[in-house]
Structure 1
Amino acid sequence: MRQTLQDKLSLLPAKPGVYLMKGEAGEILYVGKAKVLKNRVRSYFTGSHDRKTQILVGNIADFEYIVTDTVAEALVLECNLIKQHMPPYNIMLRDDKTYPYIKITREVHPRLQIVRRVKKDGAKYFGPYPSAFAAQATKRLLDRLYPLRKCQTLKKQVCLYYHINQCLAPCEFPVEQSTYQQMVKEITQFLNGGHEAVVADLRTKMEAAAESLNFERAKELRDLIRHIGQVMEEQKITTPDHVERDVFGFAAEKGLLSVQVFYVRAGKLIARSVNIMPHFGDPAEDFMSYVEQFYHERADVPKEVLLPEGVPCEALATILTAKVNQPKRGQKRDLLNLATQNAVQALDEKLRLMERNMDRTLGAVIELGELLAINTPRRIESFDNSNIQGADPVAAMVVFIDGKPAKAEYRKYKIKSVVGPDDYNSMREVLRRRYSRLLREEKPLPDLIVIDGGRGQLNAAMDVLENELGIDVPVCSLVKDDRHRTSQLLFMDLEAPVHINRHSQGFYLLERIQDEVHRFAITFHRQTHKKTGLVSLLDEIPGVGPQRRKAMLQHFGSIRAMVNADVNEFRSLGIGEKLAEQILERVRQQQNQGRASTISQDQ
């Protein structure tokens, strides 16, 4: 451990607060809260940890902390900092996901709406509905049952909704407030679990319509009753106290945390949600971090929150208006057990799917090793060149580990020693730079090198590896046909292509590798070509020196972005109006010349 970290650890206060773990570049890796900062922060650097926490600790280069008066203050501050910095090692609601609600507006002529936010505006809110489809289906059902206003602003005359009996047309006809109050009351009862009374009333009307031989109306009512049954089908579990509550269960295994939430409204379980995410700390603490963020700055908090036994919920209880309970027996405990069972089931399913996917990718790697008669190539590195008639030549390398792309290990290369469109020598330069560095730094070599190209690229690669660097690594190349599809596999000095089943997992893996390295190389070349084109153009303009050129490159990035710019945008770069006009005139002239050249070629 660095001496600086040891010194800072010895100075930590024995007070509550929030700590921020930082990486080498000063980026925030993790945000946490503590009852006693001195004990909590020190615990990361003492004792043994599981593999996930070891990874986090291994990346910590520094930390800072903020002292608070209470643990509850620390909880709120932690949530704010996590949302602000999005640390990679925190459990968090990254996408700011909110579930839909059904809203009855508080207006002279009320409306039904689907909304994502609960506001303190006097309206009535029902939900949440983790399924947006369920919320929309319920609203459509209520629109058919209760003719509230549909338009955002009143029309000058009646619309279609009036003619299909889904609106009372307050735009033309007066509507008593008592009528609206009765409908709002019935909708409230319906959404709070009183749909049985609505169904009974509709069944009476259906029977009356059938007796009066109005079979068309009876059929409509019958279909409506069935639709209510389908929409309200999920409301199966009922508690007698009719209290609104959220029930949380969780499970953790192999670095994944599964959190299940049951939404109980008016005593009925109306919906549920499940989230599975990686976690790096103690499962109970990470689960509570999720719950705390779940309620951070939310207005729609139920009357009760049920949590499993043993989780540290004291801080949450101090900031929530809801009652935080950890039941040990009875129906509430049964609900908790059910939520936990569902969390376990969801996590087990996720792990099984991951294992199948791993079997599939590892199977492809094993199959490829057997096909080429080499050891299983767990690490594969692939190279491709890209240029336009020799301009701005670049190369790219992608890495696949156990059949999956390891994007953090991708590398880009600008070709330095080759002039003109020379793929063979470009390949030589890139391989020489890549593997001489690995040898110098004594880092492990790949199990297989894949070259994008034909026999010439393969021979060039083998010459550099074997004759110049003395490396004994298997090398193969992938040849594409006229339709730009992988057609042949060449291996080492074998004269004939290696026969491979085009429908095998090994072939699909090679195809993915070739497509990925080509995509990566092309993307890098386009970025480079844009910048070099802009650099050469700016060098022609008097008054634009290295510093201004660098500032404009960072700000605009491409000629197209600069063409569409305004003179005022240059002021922030320290460029006056006169010079800015000269720059814009030159780049727009260049753009027009490029268009004229394209037109003449087309003709």
Structure 2
Amino acid sequence: MKKNERLKNEVAALPHKPGVYQYFNSNDEIIYVGKAKNLKKRVSSYFNKIHEYPKVNVLVKNIDHLKYIVVETEADALLLESNLIKEYRPRYNAMLKDDKTYPSICITKEVFPRVFKTRNIIKNGSQYFGPYSSTYTINSILEIIHELYPIRTCRLPLTKENIEAGKFKVCLQYHIHRCKGPCEGKQSIEEYQNDIEQVRKIIQGDANEISKMLYKEMQELAAEYKFEEAQKLKEKYELIESFKVKSVIANTIVENTDAFGYDEDENSAYISIIRISKGSIIQGYTIEYKKRLNENKEDILVMAILELREKLQSNSKEIIVPFDIDFPMENIKVNIPQRGDRKKLLEFAMQNVKQFKLDKLKQEEKLNPDQRAISILKEVQEKLHLEKLPMTIEAFDNSNISGSSAVAACVVFKKAKPSKKDYRTYNINTVQGPDDYASMKEVVRRRYSRMIKEGTPLPDLIITDGGKGQMEVVRKVVEDELNLKIPIAGLAKNDKHRTSELLFGFPPKEIGLKPNDQLFKLLASIQDEVHRFAIKFHRNKRSKKQVASELDSVKGIGEQTKNELIKHFKSVKRIKSANFEELKNLIGNHRASIVYNYFHSDLSS
């Protein structure tokens, strides 16, 4: 039986029930796993149309056969899908990209437990809290713990037998009051374990209970006139209160809640979880999902919520999300807050995920310098709705003073960076007087006529320095005369001669730009560069013209001699002040006599 016919029969046999479907390739490998409220309806949708996204069409082309599992509820389908994806890691599923190991806090399973930061999870009965994607958060928690409680930091095997045998001696930590010396039996197991229990509560975000207990004990000691002991508790109490001020970001009514932030780009989705207990953040973590088939954000977020809650062992009954999702798990309240403390928590989660995305982009730019350029060019493409990425951008500008020495310049940017070897300057030949439109027409015509003749690759975008008039002039040459299809944009400046707007389309429309955007900075730099280059060429031309006109009056010397003099002395003024010997050494006795006598004839008479 042929593949298409077999697949048709398999799809026809699917039930109208919730479940999970698996697509296999010809090697019997799972290439995609999906969930469905209605298996038959969902799977049929893959085969009865041409899809908008090419990746989906590629997936369908590679499906050799399929299998399915019927479940009772949508929630069961969601959990089964998540487990199958993690187990088989299918090629076309959005995959968790988590190659970075984040630290956790470990409380060891020992008679006298240690508390420390680790990236290695060892299943030996120890307790792990985390992971924490913020090093600052985990370090702050450990700092407050070691300030409050003199927990040992050594790795000695402190068993009851070893301590009684006197195998250990107290170290420096004991003498600076950072440890109570359990290694010599100076601290009981009960007292130490009580400290560890309070440490556990702090890590879990329950600092309020410890604070109340310390305050009560402090008051009782003061009432018994035990002021020295009360003072020690007071110091602990103040540290706890200080920690609470730093960690509490919401009213303590908000407890046992998970807030999720979401952001995405073309290839990845980023999801952040902030876990809150009694108004305090106790954990924060961010993951990245690599998109495979242009999955929608709702499905990715649901998958990530399952992943993160399992990873952080969360049993919160409330989740806060930035947009509506179909989350079928029972006894879980989904909240999209519009105001209040929960809104603040959502904003905090969104802030974290955006920062994660920004940091990742910066890291990629360091590893691949072209990454930032491509990102900006994609923004240009999106803003102007271009068919392809504008890898080569050319910009034009004219320069003249009252029509004299009229010139124009063309600068070329490749991958958003100046390509100076491709810059060109033009003397205006066919235009009399200050006519910018006619000058632009001449230059653009000359530029692209030559490129067509020589078979040089044409630019992906042309930018004119000016408004709608300049754009129309360029369009007439490019489209009407040369029959080229090159997008044309215009950059206009404000009264302060600063880039103010981007124009595109015919008739031209203003494209919104923010002055702090990288796109705006790129366009402004292109405009500034072409203006600088045109003015520089114009100044050089005027300067040479002025110099040449004076030397032209010297009868008896040619162009080569003039060039030698200018190249050596740099200006006519220096030629005038040069003595005869200097001139003779450069251009010989005969020509030196002509030049020297010309500039010094008044002095000799």
Structure-2-length-normalised TM-score: 0.48
Bigger radius of gyration among the two: 2
Instruction: Give TM-score scaled by structure 1 length.
Output: 0.48
